[in-house]
Amino acid sequence: MSEPLIIEYSSPGRKTGLLPEIDLPDKDRALSEYISEDYLRKEEPRFPEVSEVDVVRHYTLLSQKNYGLDTGIYPLESGTMKYNPKINEDIANLDRFKFLHPYQDEKLVQGSLEILYGLKEYLAEISGMDEVTLQPASGAHGEFAGLLIIKKHFESRGEKRTKVIVPDSAHGTNPASAAMAGFQVIEIESNLKGMVDIEKLKEIVNEDVAALMLTNPNTLGIFEKDIMKIAEIVHQAGGLLYYDGANMNAIMGYARPGDMNFDVMHFNLHKTFSTPHGGGGPGSGPVGVKEFLKPYLPVPVLSRRKIGEMTEYCWDYDRPDSIGKIHTFYGNYAVLLKAYSYIRCLGAGGLKASTENAVLNANYLKEKLKDEFLLPYQEDSLHEFVLSGLKQKEMGIPALQIAKRLLDYGQYAPTIYFPLVVKEAMMVEPTETESLRTLDKFVETMKIISREIKEKPELVKNAPQLTPVKKLDEVKAAREPDLRW
């Protein structure tokens, strides 16, 4: 059933609650005295006049139409819509955490600072980095901070390096972050195996290159087997290696970016350490660096010192070479607590098992679907893989409609049309938490859609048909949006 807008419930005189009258002696004069005429309304706002039961039922019904990880699989490639265990939420919701204030004296929040310090030590150990800042509020924010660190490093050496190399399969935030940091972006093509073309890299690396931004495994789910050679080429030219942590959940416990000779990296706590993701809410993208880049970390840096037999944690603002402050206060505290809870609950063995299951689940799906759809790259893949819907496109059904038809079967669609190196791309990542039953259901649904394309293509062409909002006229929706109340 379709649910109307809240304004459509409106009926003159209906109210949800009672508010006291404004008790100013002359409220009209008070308003004109303190508020400019330009900011005063000339007419009453058109708010819906509804009862409490109208509001409760409306938003309850809307919530039941939502799709999320609590209701089904989210096979959304590098977005890694990872299940967030409820215990993480419980930990972050404890009164002793949620009622803290960032202006409290350090001596009164030593336990909290100890947790944050422990988290950055865990992240450093897992990644092979020497120091970590927890400030950045998202992966893209972490990229930007990491690139500012790289820029500051070269400025401190009197070098003006202007270029950053980005593979053609990179996440869109990579070139955007590099451009925001003031660099010129140089794209490098993938080879026929879906990896960095070593010979082309040699051609474009020179003294103008500040860094190569790389995801490993890359966005095709393929591990860059020549990573040590890539690092050597960039370092010999004086450049640095930046690791995009989007796919770190494919190597956690088995390989560390620091050991691959990366100099800077960001973590996506929502992708690897199971904190919330998307919806415009808080995120977290801590940045790790090697020892020689520590002076440039954003202020304040969380430090630890010994005072007699006691250990004290404190915020260090005395960092003359720092890139400055990049986040209000110290980062998204509640999200950091959830990542800490996840790491402590799983332990080293559990984190490694998480990687194993993520890789197993992805390869299971790949083997089940590679004959039904085109598999453009035959290299071994890790936690995600990319199918192509070219065969189906030749029958008149693009990847977009396959994705929409999945919605009719109550399942979320994979990422489509990314990475751009694959035509009609469908990028799948099931993560480690999905059961065999869920994976088999996804496989069967994809195979049903494939049969429908051959036998009843109109069902797929007109999808979705069973969702609250049916198939839209996309051109009309873009050019004539319905912006009614």
Average pLDDT over residues 99-127: 96
Average pLDDT over residues 138-163: 97
Q: How far apart are the first and last CA of the chain?
A: 20
Tell me the C-alpha distance between 154 and 353, whole Å. 39
437-441: which pairs have CB atoms within 8 A and are 24 or more residues apart?
438/72, 438/73, 439/73, 439/361, 439/364, 439/365, 439/368, 441/73, 441/411
Amino acid 43: pLDDT: 87
Q: How confident is the model at residue 477 (pLDDT cuts 50, 70, 90)?
A: confident
Amino acid 25: pLDDT: 72
Look at residue 27 and tell me whether its pLDDT is greater than 80: no
Strand partners, 305: 312
Q: How confident is the model at residue 314 (pLDDT cuts 50, 70, 90)?
A: very high
Amino acid 42: pLDDT: 84
Q: How confident is the model at residue 80 (pLDDT cuts 50, 70, 90)?
A: confident
What residue ranges define each of the domains in the chain, with the CATH number in brackets?
A: 6-65 (no CATH), 77-81+349-477 (3.90.1150.10), 86-346 (3.40.640.10)
272-297 pLDDT per residue, tens: 999 987 655 678 999 999 999 999 99
Amino acid 282: pLDDT: 79
Residue 338: count other Cβ atoms within 10 Å of its Cβ: 26
Question: What are the CA-CA distances from residue 474 to residues 145, 457, 471, 479 (Å)?
Answer: 37, 19, 8, 9
Amino acid 233: pLDDT: 98
Average pLDDT over residues 147-163: 97
Amino acid 84: pLDDT: 87
Average pLDDT over residues 237-259: 96
Helices 399-408 and 436-455 cross at an angle (nearest 10°) of: 120
Strand partners, 288: 132, 265
Cβ atoms of residues 272 and 111 within 8 Å? no
Amino acid 155: pLDDT: 97
Look at residue 473 and tell me whether its pLDDT is greater than 80: yes
371-383 pLDDT per residue, tens: 999 999 999 999 9
407 or 67: which leads in pLDDT: 407
Amino acid 22: pLDDT: 72
pTM for this model (two decimals): 0.90
69 or 157: which leads in pLDDT: 157
Tell me the C-alpha distance between 463 and 471, whole Å. 6
Amino acid 3: pLDDT: 85
Amino acid 66: pLDDT: 83
Kindly state the percentage of the chain with pLDDT values over 90: 78
Strand partners, 425: 388
35 or 226: which leads in pLDDT: 226
